[in-house]
Amino acid sequence: MEITGKIIAVLPANSGVSARTGNPWMSQEYVLETHDQFPRKCCFRIFGEDRIKQFNIQAGEELTVSFDIDAREYQGRWFNSINAWAVNRATQTQPEAQPMSGAMPFPPVQSATPSDPFAAQPQAQSEGSTDDLPF
């Protein structure tokens, strides 16, 4: 899955030593806010010191994050994990202002012609008719 938005928070890194393998581990969480009509926030995690350094996520950056969602049960309650596996920075390609040329983006509006079926044409009113409807 993917989500695009702005990083609004960089949370402190967590680290420790695995009880099972004895190897050190590190993870860090980030909060991303979407640019939808009703903005949503998503807290995702990056696991591994090498990935944290590789992605080098800073607050205020525009990112597209690819992630996996997984749920686990602990003492009768369920918890979601949103683990990022790829981060792409948004390219800042904004259209440059182009000078106006002689060409107009739309053709000019022309007056109605008799061959135009939708043109308003005067209708003869019958005697005693008080409404102004054309039919």
Q: Which two tokens stand for residue 71?
A: 């749920």
In this prediction, residue 97 carries a pLDDT of 43
Q: What is the pTM of this model?
A: 0.64
Structural domains of the chain, ranges and CATH numbers in brackets: 2-89 (2.40.50.140)
Q: Which residues of 99-127 are buried (b: 16+ CB within 10 A; e: fewer)?
A: eeeeeeeeeeeeeeeeeeeeeeeeeeeee
- The DSSP code sequence of the chain is -EEEEEEEEEPPPEEEE-TTT--EEEEEEEEEE--SSS--EEEEEEESHHHHHHH---TT-EEEEEEEEEEEEETTEEEEEEEEEEEEEPP--PPPPPPP-S--SSPPP----TT-TTS----PPPTT-------
- Return per-residue pLDDT of the chain as tens, 135 residues: 999 999 999 999 999 999 999 999 999 999 999 999 999 999 999 999 999 999 999 999 999 999 999 999 999 999 999 999 999 997 654 444 444 444 445 455 555 555 555 555 555 555 556 667 676
In this prediction, residue 90 carries a pLDDT of 75
CA–CA separation, 32 and 62 (whole Å): 9
